[in-house]
Structure 1
Amino acid sequence: MSEPEPDLQLAIASYSDRSSEIDAIRRVVFQDEQGVAPELEFDGRDDAATHLLAYWHGQPVGTARVSWPDPQSAKIERLAVLAAARGRGIGTQLMQQALQLAAERGARVAVVHAQAYVKVLYDILGFVQVGDRFDEAGLPHVKMTKMLTSPSPA
């Protein structure tokens, strides 16, 4: 795993409180860089999800969304890191935080629809591909899952 990045802070964020920061990151990464249509990126499910924000040197640079399709599973979505902050392990740390959050809330499995070009990140984190590649928002993806263990009681 990557070493923690100095000057990086991760926070659980309420979408209603931090939507401008979350949306700005996702707009740049998914719409501007990857050409995802706004109606696909902003699907109306953000208010029901838990969001993570990464701040590097006090500036918001990354985000991820965790949704709860059922009590036993967490779906980690919308992992995005601004280009200027990539290569520092921020995406990995966001994913580790999301996995910890999912386990703490009792999920037994985490699911991602990983863009094919970043599948290796999820491989390193212990996810396993399920099924074949598919198209989502015009980009090749793979479904991946990871079994979670609940944290030990204190």
Structure 2
Amino acid sequence: MSSIFDKNLIIKVAESLEDFLAMRSVRTEVFQSEQGIEPELDFDGKDEISDQIIAYLDRQPLGTARIRYLDDRTAKIERLAVLPIARGKGIGKLIMEKAIALAVQKKMQEVVIHSQEYIQGLHQKLGFEPEGAVFEEAGIPHVKMRKKLGSTY
């Protein structure tokens, strides 16, 4: 059984100015408009040294995440955002899978995330394990999570 996503959903590494503008618009809507996060906390100057994943459905941006490389063995996936109209359809999971695959391709040994507490279950289904206590980041409860990479993914 195929879905509309099979033909019209594209999840890719951002390459063009259009992709970067799309990433910014998704993050602005989700983090600033919806969650009230200050723009300077979201756009912290680290986008330029990170890989960006962008999801489009029929050429409309729906979701994004960035991958920052902390050292030669650890990647950090952050800024996962999916527009409200696209939530609950598995797009966040697909973006995370693309980000993890990119980390594997770059021979990273582990991925860390600071997951908003309410979506911790999504990340656990992808093999992330919680570490330590819940903490606040930008006024929102988060949990640090880690996934070892290698032959298992």
Give the structure-1-normalised TM-score.
Answer: 0.92
2:30 alignment counterpart: 29
In the superposition, relative to structure 1, how do residues 5 and 18 fare at CA in structure 2: closer, same or farther (>3 Å)? closer
Native 8 Å contact 1:106 1:150 kept in 2 = no
**2: CA distance, partners of 1:121 / 1:62:** 15
Map Cα deviations across residues 31-74 of structure 1 (whole Å, 9 max, x no partner). Answer: 01111111101100000000010001221111010000001010
Structure 1 counterpart of 2:93, one-letter code: T
**2: CA distance, partners of 1:130 / 1:74:** 16
User: 1:1-154 to 2 correspondence within 5 Å?
Assistant: 5-6=5-6, 7-14=8-15, 18-149=19-150
Note the C-alpha offset of 1:4. 8.8
Note the C-alpha offset of 1:16. 5.3
Structure 1 counterpart of 2:68, one-letter code: S
The worse-fitting range, judged by mean Cα deviation, of 78-87 and 15-24 is 15-24
**1: CA distance, partners of 2:82 / 2:134:** 23
Structure 1 counterpart of 2:146, one-letter code: T
Native 8 Å contact 1:5 1:90 kept in 2 = no
Identity %: 44
Native 8 Å contact 1:10 1:53 kept in 2 = yes
Quote the RMSD (CA, aligned, Å): 1.9
Give structure 2 stretches of 5+ with no counterpart: none
Structure 1 counterpart of 2:106, one-letter code: R
Following TM superposition, the consecutive aligned residue runs of length 4 or more in structure 1 with deviations greater than 3 angstroms are 14-17
Q: Secondary structure in 1 aligned to 2:62?
A: strand
Give the structure-2-normalised TM-score.
Answer: 0.92
Native 8 Å contact 2:12 2:98 kept in 1 = no
Native 8 Å contact 1:15 1:50 kept in 2 = no
Structure 1 counterpart of 2:45, one-letter code: G
**1: CA distance, partners of 2:17 / 2:11:** 18
**2: CA distance, partners of 1:39 / 1:29:** 14
Give structure 1 stretches of 5+ with no counterpart: none
In the superposition, relative to structure 1, how do residues 39 and 15 fare at CA in structure 2: closer, same or farther (>3 Å)? farther
**2: CA distance, partners of 1:16 / 1:67:** 19
- Structure with bigger helix share is 2
